[in-house]
Structure 1
Amino acid sequence: MTPPCRVFPASQLESEIQVNDDGRRRKGGKIDLSACELLSMVQYECKIDHPEASGSPVRCWPVQRWFRRCRDNRGAFTVETTMWEGKTLPVEAEKASKTS
């Protein structure tokens, strides 16, 4: 079973990543989220048009998700930043999406 995840608004992400999973302040100084490596992944959301009918078409739409790989004194950790990245992606995000 996976450990429970803390839930908070995207606007608090920068302050929330300053604390590790144990609730302790990360060692090595303040983490600058915008300086962390940007990664992307495409997943698909699919729906069956008429689930009760055999052979009904399945329609899928791509869902772009963004992550940042950061480091503290204990090593690397990854944070999903999809909502934090906002509508206008930085230039590095556009480059990452073309290479992913």
Structure 2
Amino acid sequence: MTPPCRTFTSATLESEIQTDDTGRKRKLDRGQKDIDLSQCVLMGMLQYECKIDEPEKRNSPVLCWPVQRWFRRCQDKKGSFMVETTDWEKRSQSDEATA
């Protein structure tokens, strides 16, 4: 069984990653005050969401479509940690487009 994961909105993501799972402020190298999420390594994963068109029929077609998910790998003194940033990436792109 996987350990429990904290969840929060993309609007609070940048402030939430400043603390670890216990709620303590993350310790950083080189005198950094906060983690800059945009500087963390961007990683992607493509998954598929599928649906059986007519589940009651034996040979019903299965419809699938891609779902792109984004993650950032960040670093603190304890090592690296990952956070899903799919919604945050979309928000950042729309903010840049309107600027």
Instruction: State if a TM-score over 0.5 links the two structures.
Output: yes
Q: Give the letter for the 1:19 counterpart.
A: T
User: Size of the alignment, in residue pairs?
Assistant: 89
Structure 2: give runs of 5+ residues left out of the alignment.
Answer: 95-99
1:37 maps to amino acid: V
2:11 match: 11
Q: TM-score, normalised to structure 2's length? A: 0.83
Give, in whole Å, the separation in 1 of the partners of 2:9 and 2:47.
Answer: 22
Give the aligned partner of residue 23 of structure 2. 23
- Give runs of aligned pairs for residues 74-93 of structure 1, distance below 5 A: 74-86=78-90, 88=93
Matches within 5 A, 1:64-79: 64-79=68-83
What 5-or-longer segments of structure 1 have no aligned partner?
90-100
Letter of the structure 2 residue corresponding to residue 45 of structure 1:
E
- 1:38-93 CA distances to partner (integer Å, 9 max, x unpaired)? 1001000000001111011001000000000100000011110000001638xxxx
TM-score, normalization: structure 1? 0.83
Tell me what 2:59 maps to. Answer: 55
1:83 counterpart SS class: helix
The percentage of aligned residue pairs carrying the same residue is 64
Q: CA deviation at 1:7?
A: 2.4
Q: Distance in 1 between matches of 2:83 and 2:7?
A: 13
Q: Secondary structure at the match of 1:86?
A: helix
How well do the aligned residues superpose, as a CA RMSD in angstroms?
1.4
Deviations 1:24-49 (A, max 9, x none): 11001311000001100100000000
Map of 1:96 onto structure 2: none
SS of residue in 2 equivalent to 1:63: strand
Structure 1 runs of 4+ aligned residues shifted over 4 Å read none
